[in-house]
Amino acid sequence: MRLEEDGLRITTARHRLAKARALVRKYIPDSVSLADELIAERREAAKLE
């Protein structure tokens, strides 16, 4: 929920998440999987422990 000059705007969590994903995708190529990168980083960290 957000108060704007001309009224109150109500959006769903799903809509806000889709908007956030679209913003992030501008900076990350389609060929890159953030989940895969995170998993690889965690595996490397586990090796060092």
The pLDDT, as a whole number, for residue 30 is 85
Instruction: Give 28-46 pLDDT, tens digit per residue.
Output: 988 999 999 999 999 999 9
First to last CA, the chain: 44
Instruction: Give 6-24 pLDDT, tens digit per residue.
Output: 999 999 999 999 999 999 9
- Please write down the HEC assignment for all residues of the chain: CEEECCEEECCCHHHHHHHHHHHHHCCCCCCCCHHHHHHHHHHHHHHHC
* Residues 8 and 2 sit within 8 Å (Cβ to Cβ): yes
> Which residue range is the domain that position 17 belongs to?
2-48
The pLDDT, as a whole number, for residue 41 is 96
The count of structural domains within the chain is 1
The verdict on pTM exceeding 0.75 is no
